[in-house]
Amino acid sequence: MEVFSGIPHVLHELLSGEPDLKGRHHMLPDLSAQWHERHEDVVEEWGGVIFMDTNGAVMGLRKMGDGRSPLV
């Protein structure tokens, strides 16, 4: 199995250095909407199971060698 975990770049920007927790809180609804809009494309590109939790963390699982390159 291959496993991918991470957070979207925009969340990383808000949380690195001095964390902007208010900004993160306000961004999550838009980020969630974008995720739902692109979910089918992301699943196809990843080639396995992938999901985002309510805090913006992403995790994906797939069989070794399936799918394309890891998401960046």
The reply to whether 11 falls in a domain is: yes
Supply the range of the domain harboring residue 37.
2-62
Overall domain count for the chain = 1
The reply to whether 71 falls in a domain is: no
Three-state DSSP state, 14? helix
The pLDDT of residue 50: 94
The reply to whether 67 falls in a domain is: no
Go through the chain and tell me how many residues it has: 72
Does the pLDDT of residue 15 top 80, yes or no?
Answer: yes
Using only the alpha carbons of the chain, give its radius of gyration.
13
Q: Is the pTM of this model over 0.85?
A: no
The reply to whether 70 falls in a domain is: no
